[in-house]
Structure 1
């Protein structure tokens, strides 16, 4: 029996939106990319201070039994950060109206890093800078202080973690193209997680952004009554600022983030020997500046040297290289990866297909991403399609066309609904033969098709789902062919007439300007 996860696809308790609106008003003229770190840093500080205070109260009740509320080791043993007195939230709130509040916040961040090794170099420490309005900073501290008030059971980890995640999404929205670099829309992450179900083992993301893949994995495990200690998380992020966001995002949920490294996964792979059970990732699309010319002899390029001007197949081969013998990878790529034949990409794709590594391909609807309008797809790579505990899928690939799915959240952004996510994942699980509740798999015209590698070969190794799933069956409306043609002819005649009238009017306007056609 799973926990109730209703509303996890973007719904909120109401206060997140109000909180965002209040915080955004305090932004004044500050750029969203800069303000993001101001706000998220304070939310993180509030979280660890709340968690510390809860533990502190508990230890005070246990003093007679030998507990010491002022011993940092007591907190470390319970996976709670030690917060020195100068960094506790009540101290910041008391100081919020002082002109030197920026300096006080910076000192609090530095003190927390000093006393907690895993946070060294992670927290923002530039609140004292001249460009940050100190009155507004004080008001922001008061506002963040309202988060988590209520019963202790839910106030810290759950509520503050939820606010942190909500704000990440809103900042990505506010920043537009730049913001999307650190944030993968939640509905896409949920599809990946629901598909590969990372219950236990090593989870890896070599371009992990703000850590959304790991957070959704944690939520999936909790929703299915799993145990977080059964997974280990490994990640890498080349942007130091985003790496800090990720470390804080995981720390706010009590997820061990020692395996999250800062560096370029291509040129400084900090998990060289890792063989992951699950890979979840959303790399930069069509990256032309990845310096591939420096890696032409790399051991990872078993299926062909990726082009210097596009890193898509460098990422694909990096994922394959880091998969365990029974591992599975789910990742996002630009649609071009399914069909491009330029610069040797077609040959690399062909070699991967012929090695029977492609498990499933999903075409996504447009408008899902904050940072790009480029159409995207999901790839699923499986090392062991024959002996993975499911149905033998050797020589088969499942194609799913989800381009017509999703609902508009606003004028520019679309998201997949809970029901659509379950339909996609359920189709995949049924095809793998692993879940009775998913029912028996069957091809559905216009939506899904299980194709053989031989069929894919006939399509020149192109992996675009639309080529395989065909068209959705439509019901005949019983209207006679002759009647349909009569109506169409009348409509076409009217359109021709309007076209002629428009052409005449354009000629008259041009003549009035002294030009003749």
Structure 2
């Protein structure tokens, strides 16, 4: 009996991506993400506008359907005729459709101050897109019913899917606008940003904020009880963030423009209850030691080295924390054990009781680098206290003199063939361990190759190194091996082998030369 073929139904995200991917070749991926996401934004805002318009008509308020205030009162963007999807769709095959789309986006931004600086500026006209390809893309987007099931957040899903796909396509050195979702989810579940001010000093496309709101919704909290602040350096990414948040109805203060967090801090007096961030790794060209020597953000600490911004980002975040603030952020592993000014700052952070947890993540989680990186958690209040979340109460014990080290390199599941992401079960396991360690009545235990709670005394003995492998027990590792000595020996051995290879090559060339042959190797 023949087996029935099972046809896999493609998701809206996959179908739309395949249609949009046809733009490749005529437009660079770094550009066409703004084209695609701009159109998705246009379709979504237009659908919301039409929905509100029909509500007004049904309520007998037809005379108000062209009045902006009757849309804004329901958090709906007002659209003039030239900005509505019905107008764009009707003109999809016209030669000047690119100009019409640019005009639509410009008009929406002009009529809605909260979108100032958010939408693509003349992308469609400037890029000279193939008319038939653009028309085909418009037809495909037209098929999306963005209001079909608001509980499923269809547009949010599409937007997030596209951001991750663009990051994957752009590869190393690109895609810095996007932090993989499972990492953002882990940070949110660990620091629990449920109420107060949330800040991200390098906010990219706004993923940290989106996940914070999802955390609040998943734990039955009230998203009106949080205020969001962020800053982004790259102008096109700043636009992505504003669109991403607007699509989801998330109000945020991202500053008046894209700007350098160090040189143009747009939130100087901010004190945040939660900070979530993934700043650039090992940033060399930052406005540090030369221009910001007396910056108040370094108060009480040594000046961060101008050769690397890692500790500049750390101190920026420390300076922004409220008296009970918690920060979760990603850094390259080198920050765990650097010398010089980094050592002095790290020592002071430990002595001040700010470092709560250091978590090593698996390799290949980021689309732009395959290195293993670290999640730091800083806490301004590690003393005994009670925290009431919407769906639970946590009684924290005093952990001022302890730091939790975790190694997650054996966690994660395959993703997109060559990448790793955390499963929901992974995140539950990790956060359960972390929160158990924090609490008074706890079943927390150190687990070899996974976690270890180190006292400040132990950390002092290790000369303030925050490398987890110096504290976590590895059962299959010979503790008598001096790994630094072993690495030096291996380097020497490799050098000797390379020298021997060079000598052998020279001898072989000489033999052929004696035989009357010229040979190149």
Normalising by structure 2, report the TM-score: 0.85
2:368 to 361, 364, 371: 371
> d(CA) in 1 for partners of 2:49 and 2:216?
25
> d(CA) in 1 for partners of 2:385 and 2:255?
28
Instruction: Identify the residue that residue 390 of structure 2 maps to in structure 1.
Output: none
Instruction: Identify the residue that residue 269 of structure 1 maps to in structure 2.
Output: 265
Go from structure 1 to structure 2 and tell me whether the alpha carbon gap of 1:340 and 1:130 turns closer, same or farther (over 3 Å shift).
closer
Please tell me whether the aligned partners of residues 233 and 260 of structure 1 are also in contact (alpha carbons under 8 angstroms).
Answer: no
Matched position secondary structure for 2:296: coil
Map 1:435-474 → 2, pairs under 5 A: 440-472=443-475
Matched position secondary structure for 2:359: strand
Instruction: Identify the residue that residue 124 of structure 1 maps to in structure 2.
Output: 120
Instruction: Identify the residue that residue 377 of structure 2 maps to in structure 1.
Output: 380
> d(CA) in 1 for partners of 2:127 and 2:472?
59
Matched, 1:28 2:44: no
> d(CA) in 2 for partners of 1:194 and 1:305?
32
> Unpaired segments of 5 or more residues in structure 1?
1-11, 475-504
Instruction: Identify the residue that residue 435 of structure 2 maps to in structure 1.
Output: 429
Instruction: Identify the residue that residue 356 of structure 2 maps to in structure 1.
Output: 359
Instruction: Identify the residue that residue 327 of structure 1 maps to in structure 2.
Output: 325
> d(CA) in 2 for partners of 1:228 and 1:324?
20
Matched, 1:285 2:281: yes
Instruction: Identify the residue that residue 210 of structure 2 maps to in structure 1.
Output: 215
> d(CA) in 2 for partners of 1:515 and 1:361?
63
Matched position secondary structure for 1:462: coil
The number of equivalent residue pairs is 469
The Cα shift of 1:374 comes to 3.2
Map 1:56-95 → 2, pairs under 5 A: 56-63=53-60, 68-95=64-91
- RMSD over equivalenced CA pairs, Å: 2.4
Instruction: Identify the residue that residue 338 of structure 1 maps to in structure 2.
Output: 336
Please tell me whether the aligned partners of residues 186 and 431 of structure 2 are also in contact (alpha carbons under 8 angstroms).
Answer: yes
Matched position secondary structure for 1:114: helix
> d(CA) in 1 for partners of 2:17 and 2:514?
57
The Cα shift of 1:512 comes to 8.1
Please tell me whether the aligned partners of residues 172 and 178 of structure 1 are also in contact (alpha carbons under 8 angstroms).
Answer: no
The Cα shift of 1:515 comes to 8.9
The Cα shift of 1:511 comes to 9.7
Go from structure 1 to structure 2 and tell me whether the alpha carbon gap of 1:253 and 1:94 turns closer, same or farther (over 3 Å shift).
same
Go from structure 1 to structure 2 and tell me whether the alpha carbon gap of 1:515 and 1:397 turns closer, same or farther (over 3 Å shift).
farther
> d(CA) in 2 for partners of 1:274 and 1:297?
18
Go from structure 1 to structure 2 and tell me whether the alpha carbon gap of 1:94 and 1:276 turns closer, same or farther (over 3 Å shift).
same
1:196 to 191, 196, 203: 191
Deviations 1:20-58 (A, max 9, x none): 122102333311001111101101111111111111111
Normalising by structure 1, report the TM-score: 0.86
Matched position secondary structure for 1:324: strand
2:345 to 344, 348, 371: 348
> d(CA) in 1 for partners of 2:163 and 2:464?
38
Instruction: Identify the residue that residue 477 of structure 1 maps to in structure 2.
Output: none
> Unpaired segments of 5 or more residues in structure 2?
1-8, 387-395, 478-503, 516-521
> d(CA) in 2 for partners of 1:412 and 1:188?
16
Matched position secondary structure for 1:442: coil
